[in-house]
Structure 1
C-alpha cells in the first residue's frame, strides 16, 4: 500500500481505527504474559468530550499502547457512570418538555424514561473517545447500573451494614435545593462570592418570662430601649433563630448576661447565651444561632439545648414555620426581608462582603445545610489501611506533592452521607415495617424473615406490609467498587470470595489516571474498597493530571466560552496532532495552559515525519548502488545509532518516572533535530543521484524504529506509514500497534561527543556565511588548531557536505586576518582573503571574553562559598570546577585570537 504525497490525517485515521477494532488489537484475555491494566475513570453518561477528557484519555492511551508494544497483555477497561444527580436532572427536564412532571408518575415509569434517555445519549462520549484513538477493550464496556454491578453495590451495602459501618440517623447534611438531594462534602465546590453583610438590631427585653419560655412583646411590660446588633449574610433565616450568643469575656455585653431579645418582624423572644465559640473581633461580636441552617450553629444548639426550627422547604422556599414571606424562594426572601427590616427600623447598615459559599458540583445550586434523616458510612476504620498503602509506597501518587493533601484528608475523615433523594440509582436495600422498624436485606422476602427472627410481634407481618427505602445510594458508592466490579462484581460484599479468572489475573490494576480534585472521594474510597474486599491495593500508581486552562490561565468551561470543541480540533489538526499538542504542555499534576497553536505544532510535527519518510522513500526510486557506503555515511549511521539509543534510554527513563510530557519532548527532538535536521542531511545523496544500498536500508531501519517509539503518541500516522509498500508486504497482524518496542542498545559516547563538536563547527560556519553575507555556493577553507582529542579530519566529508568547505587542514598557529570561532576548546579559522572586518571581529571576540569572564565570576563565587562546597554533592562541586577550567581555557584562547588579529 502506497502513501499519498501530502500529510492528510483525515484520510486514514478512521480507517486504521476500524482496522484495529476488526482485528481485535484492543481485546485482552488472561494468558501467560504479564498483565498491564488500566480502568477508565468512568465519564458520566450525561457527558460529552471536553478538554479534560482529552488530556486524561490521551495519557491513558499512551500508557496502554506502550505496554502493548512492550509485550504485556494490555487491558484498558472502558465504561460510564450513571451519575445520579446529573442524569436525573436531564430526565426530569426532558419529561418537563413533554408536559410530564416527575411527581405525577411512578418510580417504574420514571426509570423506564431514564433508561431510554441513557440508551439514546449515554454512549456518546465513548464513541467520541474512539475519534481520539482510545484503544480500550470495548467488549468489556461496563456501566455502573448494569445488573451485576448494581447487585455488587447492594451486596456491599449489606456487608458494611452487618459490620456496623453503615447506619441511619439525623445529621446536618449538604442539601442541594435544585437536585432535591443530599450531597457529600466532596461534591460541594467552594467559591468566593460577593455578598452583603446585614447589621440587624434585636430589641433587648428587660425581664424574662416567669417560666423561662418565650414571650411576645405584648406580654412584656417593661421593654428596654436597647438594641443588640448582629451581622449576618443570611437575614432570611432570622425567623429560625434560637438564641443570640456572646463571648462571656466580652466586656461590652456583660450587662446582657441572662437577658433575652426579640427577633425583628416576628417578635419571638430568644435567650442570650454565653459561649467562647464567638469571636469578639468579628462583626459586632454577637452571633445569631440558627441550629437548623448552619452546621456550627447546630452543634452550638445541641450544647445549649436550643430549639431547632427548620424554615426552609426542600426546594429552598420558606415554609409556614417562617411565619412571614412563606413560599418565597430563599434569595428572593433575602432581598424582601432586608427591605422589611429597613422599613421597621431594624436594619442598621449593609456592607459589601466577600466569603466562601458552597455550591453543588452537579447543579451549581448554593448548598443549604439541612438536618435530615440519612444513611451514613463510617469512614475512620477503613481510612487507616488506605492511608498506610500510600505512606508505605504500595500506592504511589504522581506527583508526590499530593501525599500531604491525601494524608490530611484521611486523618480528618468524616462519615460519608451515602443516601440520595433520587430514583435514578441503586435503591437502598432497607425495608420498613408499618411501625417504622427497619432492617437491611437484599429482598423483601429476606427482610420479612429478618423481622420475624427479631421479634414475635412481627409474626403476622407480610411482604406486602413492607416498604423499601425510597432513596438511592450515592453514585460514588458504586464507582468506588469500579476496579473490582468491572472484573468480578460477585467479590464486592464478599471478602472471602476467591474471585474469577479475570480478577485474579488483572487485579490489582497498574495505573490510574485521574484528576486531583477527586483524590479523596473516588481514589481514596477505591483504595478502601480494595482493602476491604481483596485485601490489596486497587492500583499501583495514581497519575494526577492538572486542570486544562486557556492561555490566560482561566479554567476551560462552556460558560466562559473559552473551551474549544475537541472534535473540531481533531477535524482540523488530526487526532495525532491534538494528542501531541495536549501532551507537550502537560507535566503531571500541573495545570495545562492550552493554546490551539500547540495542536498546530503537533500537526506540523506529523507533517515533518511524513515528509522525512517521503524523502527516504524517494531515494529508493533510483536503484540504490550495491557498493560499500562511503565513509561519511558510515560515520553518520554509527552516530545516529548511538544517538537513537541515547534518546531511547532517556525516553524510557521518563516513562518509568511518569514524565510523559518529557518523554514526548525527547522523542520530538530526536525526530525533528537529530534525524531530520542532521542525519538525513548527512546521508542525503546529490540531486538525482542514487544512494548506496547500506545507507538506504539503514535509513529505512532507523525510520521503522522511530515509528515504534512514536506510536503511543501518534498511533494513526505511525500505522499508516508502517504499512507503506517500501517496507514490503505485511500480514494482517503485522501492525505498528503490536510491533515490539525497541530495546536500548550500545551507546558510543565517543562518537556522540565528536559529532556534537562537528555540529557546532557546521553551525558556526553557517553563522559566518550569514554574518559575512557569503553565498552558500562559495566553498570555504577551514583550519583547526586542536586542543582536544577529536580528529576533525575524519569528519571532513560531513563538514564539507553540510557547510560547503573545500579544504580542512590542521594548524599549530593562529591564522591572522581570518574569521575564527571555537567548538569546545578547539579553535577554527576561516581565511577570508581581506573580506573580513578586523575591527568587527575584534569586537565580537571581546564580547565573548566579557561574557565568559562574567560566567567565571559566578562560578568562582560558588566555589568560594564554604557552605556550598561542604553541603553540595561531590559530583555537583566537580561539575562547577570543570566549568571553571573550561571557561579559563576559552578565555585564554580568545585572548590569543585577539593578539593574532593585531
Structure 2
C-alpha cells in the first residue's frame, strides 16, 4: 500500500478524517470490496436499497454498520464475501423532489409529456442521486461498488417486466376495483407503509335516520359526516338488544332520500358511539368488508369523491365540487336544519395522513392492479416455519406470520409518472393485453387493434421485492446468480418485515425456487439519549455525519455495534461515541508505544514460540478472544462482539500485558543483564507484535479505518488488512495453568492498588508486605512473580526489615493475607474517620432510596425514568457503602 506518510512512524496525533478519506479511496481503487475468491464458500448480503433521494440518517448508519461488520468478518474468515449495493428509484419521493425542482423553473409536470418529465428526473438523478452512496462510503461500508445497481437500470427493469408478465400469465396478477389508500394531493394510491396515523381532537356526530315505517329513527355515530351521502346500510351488533327488532328493516337516508337496510354484523361494537354504524362501502375499509359479507343486502359502492378529494357528481346538487371539509360542514348544517342532528361529542381519534403529502388519506374505490399475495405467501410461510429462513431475534417470526397468515391482495399500481410503467395495453373496447413489449401486445390483440398503454407505474415495493436475484442478473442465468443466490443474511429494521422482507420471500421462492436469505436479522430503532423516538419536530434527531466529523467513523461504528443488543432499541448518547473515540486513541497510543520499543508487524499469523508465562498468557488470551468473537457473530450478538473486543484490548492487552512486559523490554533499567534476558526481550517483541496484529484483525470489522492504518504503520505488508486472515483459534494455544497464574497476579495487584487508593496512600511510597496463610502452590506462584508484584503495587517483601508497629493494610487474596505495613505513610486516625463518615453517608442514602422504592406511591406514580434513576442510585450507593466498609476492614 502506498501512503503519503512514513510507514515506519506512527503519528503522535490520531486524525480520523485524513485517514478515512485516504484509506477508503485506496480500498475502492484496488478492488478490495470485490468478491475474488472463486474457490471459497460465498457469503452474500444484499443491502436494503436506500432511496435515491435519501441522505444518511442514524438508522441507515446502524443498519449498514451491522452489515459491514458481517461482511468484513466473513471476508477475514476466508469467505468469498459479496455485499450487493444499490439504490431504489423511490417513485413518489423522487417525483415530488423533481416536481419541486422544475417548479422553481416555472414548469409543471401537468403541462409536459411523460417523456419530457422523465428526462427531468434522469437529469436530477445524474446530478443529485448519489448523495447517500457517497455518505455510505464515509461510514466505511465495503460494498461492491463496481457492480452497483439501480432499480430503474435497464437490466433490472427487464426483470421487473418479466415478473409482472409471468405473474399475470400464471393467474397471480389481475386488475380489480377495490378500496385503496388514496392520497388526494398526490392523486395516487399509496401503500400502508406510507400512511401515518395522527391522534387528533375531533368530534363524534350523532345523527338520526328515520325508520321506513315512520315509527321513529335510528341514531348513528360518525366521525366523517361527509361520507353519509354514500351510505348503503346501517349495521348493528347481532347481540345488541336495543336494535335486534330493527334488523331486516330499512331506514331512510336523509339528504339523499334513499332507503337503506339495517343489518347485523359482529364488527359493530355495542359500546362505541350509539352502537349503530353507517356503512359506506366505497369510503371505509371495514365497511367494504362488511358489504362483502352481506351480499343479500345489495349494499352499493358509491364513489363520492374525485381524485383530488373534492365531492364527485355522485353527490346531490349543492355538494358537488366542495372540498371534504366544506362538505362536512354543509352535511352537519343540513341535518341540523332538518332536526336530525342528535348531538355532538368531543372525540379523540386516529386519522390517516400521507407521510409525504401531509394530507388526510381517503379510502378510495378505484381500478388497480393486484397480486394474489395469499397464494404466493403459502410457501414463504412454510419456509420460515420449517427453519429454512430464521428471524433473529426469533420473536419477529410472530410478526411475519401474523401478517402473512392474514395477507390481503397486494395493490401494485401507482398513479404517478416516475417508475416502471405497467406493461399492459388496452384496445378500444377496454380489453387488456399484458406483454413484455408493445409488439408482443399487438401480436396478441391482432394487426388492426389500436392499443394504448397503461399510464400507471408499479409500486416501488414490487420492484424491490426482486432485489436479491434481480441484482445478480436474473432473468439471465448469470454466473453471479448461480454463485451468490441465495444470500446468507438480511439485516433490516423490523418495521419493513411486511412491506419488503415478506415480499422478497414470496418472489424469491416463486421465481428462484429457493428462499432469498437464510437469516433475517431485525435490529431496533435508534432513539435519543432519553429513549424518545427521534423526529425533526422534536428537534432530537442525530446526524451521523456530524458525529463522524467530530469523532470519526470508527467511533460511531463501535458505538452502534456495542449498543445493538438483539433488536432492542438503542438510546444513543453522544458521550458513548466520545468514549469509543477515546478507545481508538488508546489503541493508537498503545501501537506507538510498541513501535517505540522495537515492536513491529508479525511475519506470521501463527503464534510465536514463547517461554515467559506472560507471553504464553497473552497468546492464550488472543485465541480465547477470537473464539469468543466467533461465537458472538454466530449468535448475532453484535454487542457481545464489541464488548469482548473492547475488554480484551483495553484491559488485557493495554492495561496489563503491555505493563507486565515493560520490565522485559526496557534495557536501560538493568533488569536485562544475562544472555537469557536478551532472548526474552526478543521473544516479547515477537509476541507483542503478533498479538497486536491479531487485535487489528479482530477489531477491523468494527473499526476498519484505524486498524488498517496501524496495520501498515507497524511494518511492510504484502496485503491490506481488509484481506488478511482471521486469527488462529487452536484451543491448544491456550495454556490453562499460565492463564490461572496471570489471573491470580492481576487480581492481587488490582486489589492492592485499589486498597492503597482508598486509603489515600501516596502512589510513590514503597511499602513492605508480608504474606501469610499461603498454600505451597500459592507461595511458588508469588515467588515466581515477585518482581511483577513489586513493580505494579509499589511494595516489597518484608525480608528482615523491622515492622513499624503501626497500622497494617490487609488484602485477602484467595484465602491468603497480603499485609502491608503502612508505617507513617498516612494519618491512620484521619483515614478511619473519613472512611467511617463517607460509609455512613452512603448507607444513609442507600436506606432512604430503599424506603422510597418500597413505597407503592412512588413506584406507581413517578415517571418511569425517575424510578429507573432511583434504582440506579440505590445500586451505586449500596456498592459505595460496601466498598468503604471493606476499606475500613482492611485496616488491621
TM-score, normalised relative to structure 2: 0.85
User: How far apart are the structure 2 equivalents of 1:400 and 1:410?
Assistant: 16
What corresponds to 1:471 in structure 2? 456
What corresponds to 2:368 in structure 1? 374
Q: Which runs of structure 2 are paired with 1:210-359 in the superposition (5 Å)?
A: 226-247=216-237, 249-253=239-243, 256=246, 260-264=250-254, 266-277=255-266, 278-302=268-292, 303=294, 304-323=297-316, 324-331=318-325, 333-334=327-328, 337-338=331-332, 341=335, 345-359=339-353
What corresponds to 2:493 in structure 1? 515
User: How far apart are the structure 1 equivalents of 2:290 and 2:564?
Assistant: 47
What corresponds to 1:456 in structure 2? none
| Aligned counterpart in structure 2 of residue 409 of structure 1, from 395, 403, 413 | 403
Alpha-carbon shift at residue 664 of structure 1 (Å)? 1.0
What corresponds to 1:664 in structure 2? 642
| Aligned counterpart in structure 2 of residue 604 of structure 1, from 563, 582, 585 | 582
The answer as to whether partners of 1:819 and 1:841 remain within 8 angstroms in 2 is: no
User: How far apart are the structure 2 equivalents of 1:249 and 1:351?
Assistant: 25
Alpha-carbon shift at residue 187 of structure 1 (Å)? 4.3
| Aligned counterpart in structure 1 of residue 627 of structure 2, from 622, 628, 649 | 649
Alpha-carbon shift at residue 50 of structure 1 (Å)? 0.6
Secondary structure, aligned partner of 2:589: helix
Alpha-carbon shift at residue 502 of structure 1 (Å)? 1.1
Q: Which runs of structure 2 are paired with 1:615-630 in the superposition (5 Å)?
A: 615-620=593-598
What corresponds to 2:653 in structure 1? 675
**Residues 111 and 795 (structure 1 numbering): CA distance in 2 closer, same or farther, change over 3 Å?**
same
| Aligned counterpart in structure 2 of residue 752 of structure 1, from 728, 736, 739 | 739
Q: Which runs of structure 2 are paired with 1:532-543 in the superposition (5 Å)?
A: 532-543=510-521
| Aligned counterpart in structure 1 of residue 480 of structure 2, from 482, 502, 505 | 502
What corresponds to 1:166 in structure 2? 173
Q: Which runs of structure 2 are paired with 1:139-218 in the superposition (5 Å)?
A: 139-189=146-196, 191=197, 193-205=199-211, 207=213
The answer as to whether partners of 2:599 and 2:686 remain within 8 angstroms in 1 is: no
Alpha-carbon shift at residue 803 of structure 1 (Å)? 0.5
Secondary structure, aligned partner of 1:381: helix
The answer as to whether partners of 1:582 and 1:598 remain within 8 angstroms in 2 is: no
What corresponds to 1:210 in structure 2? none
What corresponds to 2:668 in structure 1? 689
**Residues 508 and 252 (structure 1 numbering): CA distance in 2 closer, same or farther, change over 3 Å?**
closer
Secondary structure, aligned partner of 2:242: helix
What corresponds to 1:629 in structure 2? none
**Residues 900 and 710 (structure 1 numbering): CA distance in 2 closer, same or farther, change over 3 Å?**
closer
2:721 corresponds to 1:736: yes
What corresponds to 1:704 in structure 2? 693
- Alignment deviations for residues 21-56 of structure 1 (CA, whole Å, 9 cap, x no partner): 221111225622221211111111111111111111
The answer as to whether partners of 1:481 and 1:529 remain within 8 angstroms in 2 is: yes
User: How far apart are the structure 2 equivalents of 1:55 and 1:742?
Assistant: 26
Q: Which moved more, 1:90-99 or 1:41-50?
A: 90-99
What corresponds to 1:444 in structure 2? 438
**Residues 652 and 250 (structure 1 numbering): CA distance in 2 closer, same or farther, change over 3 Å?**
closer
Secondary structure, aligned partner of 1:38: strand
| Aligned counterpart in structure 2 of residue 383 of structure 1, from 366, 373, 377 | 377
Secondary structure, aligned partner of 2:205: strand
User: How far apart are the structure 2 equivalents of 1:233 and 1:381?
Assistant: 36
Q: Which moved more, 1:697-706 or 1:315-324?
A: 315-324
**Residues 802 and 340 (structure 1 numbering): CA distance in 2 closer, same or farther, change over 3 Å?**
farther
**Residues 109 and 680 (structure 1 numbering): CA distance in 2 closer, same or farther, change over 3 Å?**
same
The answer as to whether partners of 1:640 and 1:679 remain within 8 angstroms in 2 is: yes
Secondary structure, aligned partner of 1:193: strand
**Residues 67 and 255 (structure 1 numbering): CA distance in 2 closer, same or farther, change over 3 Å?**
closer
**Residues 166 and 535 (structure 1 numbering): CA distance in 2 closer, same or farther, change over 3 Å?**
same
User: How far apart are the structure 1 equivalents of 2:798 and 2:455?
Assistant: 90
What corresponds to 2:789 in structure 1? 799
The answer as to whether partners of 1:586 and 1:592 remain within 8 angstroms in 2 is: yes
Q: Which moved more, 1:149-158 or 1:400-409?
A: 400-409
Secondary structure, aligned partner of 2:421: coil
**Residues 339 and 599 (structure 1 numbering): CA distance in 2 closer, same or farther, change over 3 Å?**
farther
**Residues 793 and 842 (structure 1 numbering): CA distance in 2 closer, same or farther, change over 3 Å?**
farther
- Alignment deviations for residues 822-870 of structure 1 (CA, whole Å, 9 cap, x no partner): 223333222334878599989999x99xxxxxxxxxxxxxxxxxxxxxx
User: How far apart are the structure 2 equivalents of 1:364 and 1:543?
Assistant: 32
| Aligned counterpart in structure 2 of residue 765 of structure 1, from 736, 745, 752 | 752
**Residues 250 and 403 (structure 1 numbering): CA distance in 2 closer, same or farther, change over 3 Å?**
closer
**Residues 116 and 344 (structure 1 numbering): CA distance in 2 closer, same or farther, change over 3 Å?**
farther
**Residues 792 and 899 (structure 1 numbering): CA distance in 2 closer, same or farther, change over 3 Å?**
closer
Unaligned runs of 5+ in 2: 1-6, 601-609, 673-680, 840-884
- Alignment deviations for residues 780-836 of structure 1 (CA, whole Å, 9 cap, x no partner): 2222334564322222122111101111689xxxx9963222223333222334878
Alpha-carbon shift at residue 133 of structure 1 (Å)? 0.9
Secondary structure, aligned partner of 1:423: coil
User: How far apart are the structure 2 equivalents of 1:485 and 1:30?
Assistant: 22
The answer as to whether partners of 1:198 and 1:347 remain within 8 angstroms in 2 is: no
User: How far apart are the structure 2 equivalents of 1:411 and 1:203?
Assistant: 39
2:417 corresponds to 1:423: yes
User: How far apart are the structure 1 equivalents of 2:498 and 2:737?
Assistant: 51
What corresponds to 2:854 in structure 1? none
Alpha-carbon shift at residue 698 of structure 1 (Å)? 2.3
**Residues 485 and 770 (structure 1 numbering): CA distance in 2 closer, same or farther, change over 3 Å?**
same
Secondary structure, aligned partner of 1:298: helix
Q: Which moved more, 1:164-173 or 1:747-756?
A: 747-756
What corresponds to 1:582 in structure 2? 560
Alpha-carbon shift at residue 602 of structure 1 (Å)? 1.9
User: How far apart are the structure 2 equivalents of 1:171 and 1:58?
Assistant: 41
What corresponds to 1:625 in structure 2? none
User: How far apart are the structure 2 equivalents of 1:441 and 1:899?
Assistant: 87
User: How far apart are the structure 1 equivalents of 2:22 and 2:834?
Assistant: 60
- Alignment deviations for residues 352-403 of structure 1 (CA, whole Å, 9 cap, x no partner): 3333444445545433211111111112222122122212222121111111
**Residues 397 and 179 (structure 1 numbering): CA distance in 2 closer, same or farther, change over 3 Å?**
same
User: How far apart are the structure 1 equivalents of 2:684 and 2:649?
Assistant: 18
The answer as to whether partners of 2:806 and 2:823 remain within 8 angstroms in 1 is: no
**Residues 227 and 486 (structure 1 numbering): CA distance in 2 closer, same or farther, change over 3 Å?**
same
The answer as to whether partners of 1:243 and 1:271 remain within 8 angstroms in 2 is: yes
Unaligned runs of 5+ in 1: 208-222, 453-459, 492-498, 623-631, 849-893
Alpha-carbon shift at residue 341 of structure 1 (Å)? 4.8
The answer as to whether partners of 1:818 and 1:836 remain within 8 angstroms in 2 is: no
The answer as to whether partners of 1:584 and 1:661 remain within 8 angstroms in 2 is: yes
Alpha-carbon shift at residue 248 of structure 1 (Å)? 5.2
Secondary structure, aligned partner of 1:427: coil
- Alignment deviations for residues 69-99 of structure 1 (CA, whole Å, 9 cap, x no partner): 1122221121001111211222222233322
The answer as to whether partners of 1:817 and 1:836 remain within 8 angstroms in 2 is: no
The answer as to whether partners of 2:619 and 2:687 remain within 8 angstroms in 1 is: no
Q: RMSD of the alignment, in Å?
A: 3.2
**Residues 316 and 898 (structure 1 numbering): CA distance in 2 closer, same or farther, change over 3 Å?**
closer
- Alignment deviations for residues 141-179 of structure 1 (CA, whole Å, 9 cap, x no partner): 000111111111111111111111111111122222233
| Aligned counterpart in structure 1 of residue 127 of structure 2, from 117, 120, 131 | 120
Alpha-carbon shift at residue 673 of structure 1 (Å)? 1.0
